[in-house]
Amino acid sequence: MSEGASDDVNVHNSGKRTEECRRMVDHALTRNPVVKFMVEKLEEAGCPVGERFFSLESCSEEVGGGFRVPDGVIVCSNHLSAQEEVSHVLTHELIHAYDHCRGADLDWTNCEHHACSEVRAASLSGDCHFKQELLRGNTGFRGQHQRCVRRRAELSVGMNDYCKGPGCAKRAVDNVFDRCFADTAPFDRIP
Ligand SMILES: [Zn+2]
């Protein structure tokens, strides 16, 4: 989390925080080109998202957001304080929504299914852009993007109740990595 993101520890989030976050979500949906692109592609894929698809919550886990069936995208207003963070979380979660939309048999309790979507979300959402990695103190160059994607995907899969066994998340990511990393839809290539 960024500095200043944790000053509000009250889980009964202040109304002001929620309001600001709502404004940043609206801003991303109307202005951020990647977020707009994802919303457009979801519509084209037959899964239009309305405003109610995005809800703000106070999250207890250390995450910026989530995707939940059938509610949609959750934005953790207690963990986000900057526009850039909100846009980034929306992009990541919309990739999960896209995978859910196009994958009729996608089962989020199946660790490999989940891992595939996390690999794609980490790779395509900018989670592993150089600047994000610098902020985390990871400064290698060669292969850094793929290493980062694996690490981020394992972390996320490891939070799935069905994938908490020892080595389970890592195994799931390893098994699907090549195939899912290569699948950049709806982008032509890694943006
Ligand atoms: Zn994710």
pLDDT tens across the length of the chain (191 residues): 333 333 334 444 468 889 999 999 999 999 999 999 999 999 999 999 988 999 999 999 889 999 999 889 999 999 999 999 999 999 999 999 999 999 989 999 999 999 999 999 999 999 888 777 777 777 766 688 999 999 999 999 999 999 999 999 999 999 999 999 999 999 999 88
Cα of 98 from ligand 1 centre, angstroms: 12
Cα of 121 from ligand 1 centre, angstroms: 6
Q: Are the C-beta atoms of 123 and 149 separated by less than 8 Å? A: yes
Burial of residue 56 (number of CB atoms within 10 Å: 0-12, 13-18, 19+): buried
What φ, ψ does residue 71 adopt, rounded to 5°? Answer: -65, -45
Residue 91's region, left for phi above 0, alpha for psi from -120 to 50, else beta, is alpha
Cα of 116 from ligand 1 centre, angstroms: 10
Structural domain tally of the chain? 2
Of 105, 126, 160, the position where a domain reaches its end is: 105
The reply to whether 101 and 111 lie within a common domain is no
The reply to whether 152 and 170 lie within a common domain is yes
The reply to whether 114 and 182 lie within a common domain is yes
The reply to whether 89 and 116 lie within a common domain is no
Cα of 10 from ligand 1 centre, angstroms: 25
**CATH number of the domain to which 46 belongs:** 3.30.2010
Determine which helix (DSSP H) or strand (DSSP E) holds 55, and give its type and residue range: strand 54-57
Domain membership of residue 25 (yes or no) is yes
Q: What global pTM score does this model have?
A: 0.88
Active centre residues (catalytic): 93
Neighbours of 164 (CB within 10 A): 12
Of 87, 105, 123, the position where a domain reaches its end is: 105
**Where in the sequence is the domain holding 153, given as residue range(s)?**
107-191
Q: Are the C-beta atoms of 38 and 93 separated by less than 8 Å? A: no
